[in-house]
């Protein structure tokens, strides 16, 4: 695999430097609406990761020569085929008590913009291994942001996490609303941008300059003869030449008029 698309570089770029949520501003709907607590955020993050992984794999393997409008429909179908059975298994075959948010937004993960963007811009243009690495990096980036937002919103909004109370003296219930998540995303994007800009900042190269003065010899015995300097007033532009000529004529007229007026006064 090309060094440009190595796993380590793709993980750094996809999950950190070019985070899909904080930098590319995709998948904002599930992040804002479905991360009211850590539990919901974790299940939504797992669903997004699985959807991106499977869809990118199939897109790179089978959909490179397919028309774009057909590929977009296939992304939706693949997401529904993957997520809906998993949703049914979690709800009826496990002891996990699903919230209303999970029931609503887990199926909507099938149409998230992050999957379509990465499949169209990267997966269908590269080999399967590279496409899978890209989807893993993007999924980790999106999942990390979701888990952080869910944990912070639950702690700040209700003073608890996963049923464990911290007995805070005051809480901010507004953080459980979508505006609270937008505030967290804004601060997180600012911090990420600051960190990445510091790491990628190029320091100017320093050039060494000699501090020792150079000796200059002056010939004081010789005689100085000024050279005649010819001034070339040739201009390629006719307008500039005309403007210069008119200025010179005005200057001459001003001197001659002054001399004539002085002669008349003397008379």
pLDDT beyond 60 at 265: no
Using alpha carbons, list the distances in angstroms from residue 203 to 197, 210, 212, 232, 252.
Answer: 12, 22, 27, 46, 57
pLDDT of 21 reads 92
Taking alpha carbons only, the member of 149, 75, 72 closest to residue 109 is 75
- Residues 247, 103: Cα–Cα separation, whole Å: 85
- Mean pLDDT for the stretch of residues 6-16: 84
Q: Take residue 199 and report the two structure tokens written for it.
A: 């790491």
pLDDT of 150 reads 93
- % of the chain with per-residue pLDDT over 70: 72
- Mean pLDDT for the stretch of residues 127-151: 93
pLDDT of 219 reads 55
Determine the Cα angle at 227 with ends 222 and 232, to 5°.
160
Taking alpha carbons only, the member of 185, 35, 183 closest to residue 101 is 35
Tens-digit pLDDT profile for residues 25-55: 888 888 988 888 898 899 889 889 999 999 9
- Containing 164, the helix (H) or strand (E) segment is strand 164-165
Q: Are 152 and 41 in contact (CB under 8 A)?
A: no
| Predicted TM-score of the model (pTM) | 0.69
Q: Are 40 and 106 in contact (CB under 8 A)?
A: no
pLDDT beyond 50 at 1: no
Tens-digit pLDDT profile for residues 93-118: 777 777 777 788 888 888 788 888 88
pLDDT of 224 reads 47
pLDDT beyond 90 at 142: yes
């Amino acid at each position: 695999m090309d060094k440009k698309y190595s796993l380590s570089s793709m993980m750094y770029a996809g999950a950190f430097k070019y985070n899909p949520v904080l930098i590319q501003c995709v998948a904002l709907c599930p992040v804002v609406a479905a991360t009211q607590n850590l539990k919901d955020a974790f299940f939504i993050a797992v669903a997004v990761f699985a959807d991106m992984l499977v869809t990118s794999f199939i897109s790179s393997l089978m959909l490179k020569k397919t028309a774009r409008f057909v590929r977009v429909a296939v992304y939706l179908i693949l997401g529904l085929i993957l997520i809906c059975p998993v949703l049914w298994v979690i709800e009826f075959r496990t002891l996990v008590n699903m919230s209303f948010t999970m029931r609503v937004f887990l199926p909507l993960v099938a149409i998230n913009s992050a999957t379509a963007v990465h499949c169209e811009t990267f997966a269908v243009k590269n080999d399967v291994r590279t496409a899978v690495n890209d989807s893993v990096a993007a999924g980790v980036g999106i999942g990390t942001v979701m888990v952080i937002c869910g944990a912070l919103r639950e702690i700040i909004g209700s003073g608890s996490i996963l049923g464990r109370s911290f007995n805070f003296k005051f809480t901010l219930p507004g953080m459980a609303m979508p505006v609270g998540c937008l505030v967290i995303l804004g601060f997180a994007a600012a911090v990420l941008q600051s960190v990445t800009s510091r790491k990628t900042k190029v320091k100017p190269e320093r050039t060494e300059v000699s501090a020792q003065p150079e000796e200059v010899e002056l010939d004081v015995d010789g005689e100085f003869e000024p050279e005649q300097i010819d001034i070339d007033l040739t201009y390629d532009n006719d307008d500039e030449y005309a403007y210069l000529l008119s200025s010179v004529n005005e200057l001459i007229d001003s001197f001659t008029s002054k001399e004539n007026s002085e002669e008349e006064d003397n008379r």
